[in-house]
Copies of this chain bind each other. A is one copy, B any other.
């Protein structure tokens, strides 16, 4: 199967401009072209784009993705380094999740405070703003 850039954009969730941009910065290899010189994305192209969007979701900077992409071009000999990148990223994602979970607790605490303020306001009790509400 092959796909126009519009179709590739739709399937990857990236914009057409972003697809061309990723190609320019060598994050993706130039796809095949049809007779009219238009980009013709293959299934493996799409699979790579999908994986890239996952890496992006993890917050990996483009620089690092480019590094990974470049290693990929060197075939199986680079597998070790590629794995190392993923392991490192795994670590940073785990840390980010922990960080977000801590923030979630703080938000919950604040939200609870606000709920209390609301109750007091309804009761016409004197209100005191939280330490930094």
Q: Which of B48, B93, B103, B111 contacts A104 (CB 8 A)?
A: B93
**Residue A40 is within 8 A (CB to CB) of chain B in the complex:** no
Copies in the complex: 2
Nearest residue (CB) in B for A120 is: B76
> Which chain B positions have C-beta within 8 A of A6?
none
Across the interface, do A115 and B83 meet the contact criterion of CB distance under 8 Å?
Answer: yes
Do B107 and A72 touch (CB < 8 A)? no
Cβ of A20 to closest chain B Cβ, rounded Å: 20
Q: Which one of A10-18, A30-38, A84-92 contacts B?
A: A84-92
**A111 in contact with B87 (CB, 8 Å):** yes
Q: Is the CB of B50 within 8 A of A132?
A: yes
On A, residues with C-beta under 8 Å from B are 44, 47-48, 50-51, 54, 57-58, 72, 75-76, 79-80, 82-83, 86-87, 89-90, 93-94, 96-97, 99-101, 103-104, 106-108, 110-111, 114-115, 117-118, 121, 127, 129, 131-133
16 contacts between A and B (CB under 8 A): A44-B131, A44-B132, A47-B131, A50-B132, A76-B121, A80-B118, A83-B115, A87-B111, A89-B107, A90-B107, A90-B108, A93-B100, A93-B104, A94-B104, A97-B97, A100-B100
